[in-house]
Amino acid sequence: RRPPPAMAEPSLARLGAGANAWMVDENIADITRQPQEPLIARLRTRTKELVLDVHKAAVVVVDMQNDFCHADGWLASVGVDVGPARAPIPVLDALIPAARSAGAMVSWVNWGNRPDLLNVPSSVHHVYNPTDRGTGLGDALPPRGSRVLEQGSWGAAVVDDLQAHVRSGDDLVVSKYRMSGFPDTALDSALRQLGRTTLLFAGVNTDQCVMATLVDAANLGYDVVLVADACGTTSPDFCRQATEYNVSQCFGFVAESADVLAALAAAGTQHTYLDRAAAPGGPAGGP
């Protein structure tokens, strides 16, 4: 009979990040990756009640950046009303601090292209400058001279209105180069390293970059929730409706921010339905 595994000793130091960290010293490498105590929240969505672990959750904020959400940004410069793209700002003003305080992670996923644009295909250039006669990716945009969606530029930064919520060193900040935040980026590997498997999506545009990132996340095995009023789009409203329908039908769940806030506020170390069902003599149903 094998002896039980030794518990981590107080002298061991944490090596690595999140759920995949080891505990080490000169003689021991504890690679058991001890689980974190769950913090259970019950979230009402449009189709079902979700029972989720806040410590495995991340709010993924997509493309809430100056070039899309500010009057001096690229989108406004081509004549698009950015009002709908700014609609999520007050929702995120409440959601981000509540999520962080409860123990969820915050991730900012923004366009942030290389100055040489070498990893950007022609199909993506075409989205922003279909005739090559306008102001496209990497071009200087009046009146600020910021280069459109270039990493490190004002236009690629989180929109000024939300800058106060960015926590350097705590938040996961990822630059993307496609409509989705996953191709050619570290988003997937970082989320997995940190043990964040439930993703709550916010940002713009609901039907474009938010949807593309959410679909890729679902296809990679993440549990996905679209926080409907924490998203916005400058597209016709039928695009939003179709996106919300397809998320609920095919990929995950759709919720409202008020329900997310309520779930976070009430989160606690409660049993999950699975715990209750597995307990000796436990009910087949929920608590």
Q: How many CB atoms neighbour CB 285 within 10 A?
A: 8
- Angle 183-114-184 from CA coordinates, rounded to 5°: 15
Q: Which of 56, 67, 176, 207 is catalytic?
A: 176
State how far the Cα of 111 lies from the Cα of 92, in Å rounded to an integer.
Answer: 19
209 catalytic? Reply is: yes
Classified as helix, coil or strand, 181 is coil
Place of tokens 């002896």: 3
Q: What are phi and psi of 135, to 5 degrees?
A: -95, 115
- Angle 232-245-108 from CA coordinates, rounded to 5°: 40
Query: Which residues have C-beta within 8 Å of that of residue 119, sequence separation ≥ 6?
Result: 177, 184
Q: Which two tokens stand for residue 273?
A: 């339905």
Contact 108, 163 (CB under 8 A): no
Q: Which of 30, 53, 63, 171 is catalytic?
A: 63
Q: Which of 67, 209, 216, 231 is catalytic?
A: 209
Closest by CA to 84, choosing from 168, 197, 210, is: 210
Give Cα 132 to chain centroid, integer Å: 32
Place of tokens 């608590």: 287
56 catalytic? Reply is: no
116 catalytic? Reply is: no
The CA-atom distances, in angstroms, between 43 and each of 104, 169, 266 are 14, 28, 10
The CA-atom distances, in angstroms, between 127 and each of 108, 124, 264 are 22, 5, 38
Active site residues: 63, 176, 209
